[in-house]
């Protein structure tokens, strides 16, 4: 149906290609990490062997490397990308930010949410929370990759800690307990225990944030007469 001139909408290029690639690689990696993480949590119910569990951890950590590298790339792009990709459009700061947040909240509560091209002021708070949780998962996950698989960047150090006396630490394997000194291994397990707990609670928090994000996108899409929420797919906000 054709629109009268007063009904015309402008088309904006919002999310540039690197930002959209980042978003969808991150979404797929996190979905994979959650799926494999849930399997690891239910290893007994799934009847996994020790070898099967180690393989799942390897898949999980490989996805974790992808997520971490993709996130580092996004941080670089926040200095180089278009105005919607930059730090000042992403994080809750800058001139007029708190006033914009107040008026966004007031309009939202009165049932007439303001339309924003790019991130709205409330979304910018959610982004800080998501970035914090992802960075927490990367930090704790990389330590666990070291303690569980002896994989980089900390694996060599943990292998040196638990290696059986006289054994080259490069030969320490999660599948061969005779490559490890049992007292050192026990001490290393005690060290990693609170890190597993943080990784697990951050997973619960992330799952809640992701669900909220999906519900918000669906509500925004179906609550909008013109169905304008496809800009993360096509870049354009019409």
Positions in the binding site for ligand HEM (CB under 6 A): 30, 33-34, 37, 40-41, 57, 60-61, 64-65, 67-68, 137-138, 141-142, 144-145, 148, 196, 199-200, 203, 206
Least distance to ligand HEM, CB of residue 123, Å: 19
Instruction: Rank residues 37 and 118 by Cβ distance to ligand HEM and give the closer one.
Output: 37
Least distance to ligand HEM, CB of residue 72, Å: 12
124 within 8 A of 116, measured Cβ to Cβ: no
Least distance to ligand HEM, CB of residue 214, Å: 15
Give backbone dihedrals phi and psi of 113, rounded to 5 degrees, phi first: -60, 140
Residue 143's nearest CA partner among 168, 129, 161, 125 is 161
User: How many angstroms separate the Cα of 78 from the Cα of each of 16, 90, 121?
Assistant: 11, 9, 17
Q: Report which residue's Cβ sits closest to ligand HEM.
A: 141
d(CA 81, CA 83): 7
Least distance to ligand HEM, CB of residue 139, Å: 9
154 within 8 A of 146, measured Cβ to Cβ: yes
Residue 164's nearest CA partner among 184, 190, 192 is 184
Coil, strand or helix: which one is 191? helix
Instruction: Rank residues 41 and 214 by Cβ distance to ligand HEM and give the closer one.
Output: 41
Instruction: Rank residues 33 and 164 by Cβ distance to ligand HEM and give the closer one.
Output: 33
Instruction: Rank residues 105 and 195 by Cβ distance to ligand HEM and give the closer one.
Output: 195
d(CA 207, CA 225): 29
Instruction: Rank residues 148 and 231 by Cβ distance to ligand HEM and give the closer one.
Output: 148
Least distance to ligand HEM, CB of residue 141, Å: 2
Residue 173 β-bridge partners? 176
């Amino acid at each position: 149906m054709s629109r009268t001139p007063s009904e015309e909408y402008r088309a904006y290029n919002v999310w540039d290609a690197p930002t959209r690639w980042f978003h969808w690689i991150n979404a797929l990696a996190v979905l994979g990490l959650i799926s494999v993480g849930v399997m690891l949590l239910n290893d007994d119910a799934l009847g996994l062997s020790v070898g099967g569990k180690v393989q799942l951890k390897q898949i999980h950590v490989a996805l974790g490397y992808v997520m971490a590298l993709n996130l580092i790339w996004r941080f670089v792009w926040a200095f180089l990308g278009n105005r919607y990709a930059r730090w000042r459009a992403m994080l809750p700061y800058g001139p007029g930010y708190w006033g914009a947040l107040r008026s966004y909240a007031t309009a939202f509560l009165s049932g007439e949410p303001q339309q924003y091209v790019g991130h709205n002021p409330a979304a910018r708070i959610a982004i800080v929370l998501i970035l914090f949780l992802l960075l927490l998962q990367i930090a704790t996950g990389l330590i666990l990759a070291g303690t569980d698989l002896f994989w980089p960047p900390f694996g060599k150090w943990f292998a040196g800690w638990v290696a059986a006396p006289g054994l080259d630490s490069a030969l320490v394997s999660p599948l061969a307990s005779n490559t490890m000194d049992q007292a050192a291994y026990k001490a290393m397990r005690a060290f990693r225990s609170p890190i597993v707990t943080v990784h697990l609670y951050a997973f619960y928090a992330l799952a809640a944030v992701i669900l909220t994000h999906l519900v918000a996108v669906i509500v925004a899409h179906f609550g909008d007469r013109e169905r304008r929420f496809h800009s993360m797919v096509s870049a354009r906000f019409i």
